[in-house]
Structure 1
Amino acid sequence: MLAASPVWATDVPSGHSVELYEVLVDAVESETWLRFRFIAPHIARGEGAVEYDVAASDMMHLCAALALPYSAEYALAGDVIVISLADRATEFGVADPEATQFFEAFRPVDNTCIWEGL
């Protein structure tokens, strides 16, 4: 497991700001998965919340604009990049029914992100 340091904040196509708070590297079967976990308060439940269809384009953007350069900078090699958005910090692998979370998986190919569809 790698902690994101320093914390990276960026704007996404929806016009909101997200903060990278954790990067995890783990094995899933025979593959290495890089998990980029972001706090995205704008996806919280309620009126005015960003829905999944809008957040999906944000996740594609985060893969290409942040995860790929981060991986290169820190010499991380992965078969799959998972981008997750949560309205609050959550512990990885622990259910939190109060949290809103969205996930997408991508294959890094020739410095681009190819959507995998979990």
Structure 2
Amino acid sequence: MTDPVAQPAGPTGAEAEFIPVPSGQPVVLQDVIWNAPGPEGLAVRFRFVAPQIARDSGSVAYEVAAGDIVHLCQTYALPRLADFGPQPTQIIISLSDKALPFGESAPEATQFFESFSHQDGHCIWEMF
């Protein structure tokens, strides 16, 4: 297996394109990490920045953000899987209140992660 590949999302900040989610919070794709082993085999990670989940100043709690994560898997990640070569067994969706380098610890950041398998065009939530 080759090393994981990060595919940058493009512009961030004011010029970034917001991805619609049920909560209405502003969400931007940070990057996609593919060709990386996960706990259940080959995984693709869609990493999003969602400033409103910030623990001290945010207005979106996990219970609300969880609906956004499912929505992002179903409507954003799933349709793009064919763009990444071999089909992953696992889709990981993460929200962070700020852009972070992949794999680095950031205790000050608020981050939510959920893992999904996929079957018949549907994301299926899997417990981490």
Q: Which moved more, 1:108-117 or 1:27-36?
A: 27-36
Cα distance in structure 1, aligned partners of 2:107 and 2:40: 30
Q: Which moved more, 1:22-31 or 1:107-116?
A: 22-31
Superposition pairs of residues 17-36 of structure 1, within 5 angstroms? 17-25=26-34, 26-28=36-38, 31-36=41-46
The verdict on how the C-alpha distance between 1:4 and 1:108 changes in structure 2, with shifts beyond 3 A counting, is farther
Distance 1:63 1:50 in 2: 18
User: 1:38-93 CA deviation, whole Å, 9 max, x = no partner?
Assistant: 00011012255211111111000000000011212444511000000000011111
Give the % identical residues. 44
Structure 1 position 13 matched with structure 2 position 22: yes
Structure 2 vs 1, CA of residues 69 and 76 (structure 1 numbering), >3 Å: closer, same or farther? farther
**2:59 is the counterpart of 1:55:** no
TM-score normalised to the size of structure 2? 0.83
CA root-mean-square deviation:
1.8
Match of 2:107 in 1: 97
Q: Which runs of 5+ in 2 are unaligned?
A: 12-16
> Contact 1:3 / 1:21 at 8 angstroms: preserved in 2?
no
Any unmatched runs of 5+ in structure 1?
none
Residues 10, 29 of structure 1: alpha-carbon distance in 2 compared, 3 angstrom cutoff: closer
Mapping of residues 55-74 of structure 1, within 5 Å: 55-74=65-84
Number of paired residues? 118
